[in-house]
Amino acid sequence: MKGLIVFDSYFGNTKLVAEAIGEQIRADGHEAVVVSARDGRPWELTGDFLFVGSPTRFGKPSHRIRKFIKKLEVQLWSSKPMAAFDTYMAGTPNDPIASYFIHDKLKEKGFNVRSPPLMCLVTASEGPLAADALDNAKRYTHEFLLTLGK
What is the count of structural domains for the chain? 1
Closest CA to 37 of 89, 104, 98, 127: 98
**Confidence check: pLDDT of 15 > 60:** yes
Q: Which pTM does this prediction carry? A: 0.94
Per-residue pLDDT at 42: 58
Cα–Cα distance between 36 and 9 in angstroms, integer?
8
Closest CA to 8 of 92, 87, 111: 87
Strands (E), the chain: 2-7, 31-36, 49-55, 81-89, 112-113, 118-122
Per-residue pLDDT at 138: 98
Cα–Cα distance between 59 and 64 in angstroms, integer?
15
Neighbours of 64 (CB within 10 A): 18
Contacts of 84 (CB under 8 A, 6+ apart): 51, 52, 53, 98, 99, 100, 102, 103, 106, 113, 114, 117, 118
**Confidence check: pLDDT of 44 > 70:** no
Q: Residue 26's domain spans which residues? A: 2-146
CATH of the domain at 32: 3.40.50.360
pLDDT digits (tens, 9 = 90+) for 30-39: 999 999 999 8
**Confidence check: pLDDT of 136 > 80:** yes
In angstroms, how far is the first alpha carbon of the chain from the final one?
A: 14
Residue 32: burial class (beta carbons within 10 Å; 0-12, 13-18, 19+):
buried
Per-residue pLDDT at 76: 87
- Whether the CB-CB separation of 3 and 53 falls below 8 Å is answered with no
pLDDT digits (tens, 9 = 90+) for 75-106: 889 899 999 999 998 775 556 789 999 999 99
- In whole numbers, what is the pLDDT of the chain averaged over residues? 92
| Residue 46: band (very low, low, confident or very high) from pLDDT cuts 50, 70, 90 | confident
Per-residue pLDDT at 58: 85
50, 118, 133, 142 from 27: Cα distances, Å: 17, 19, 18, 9
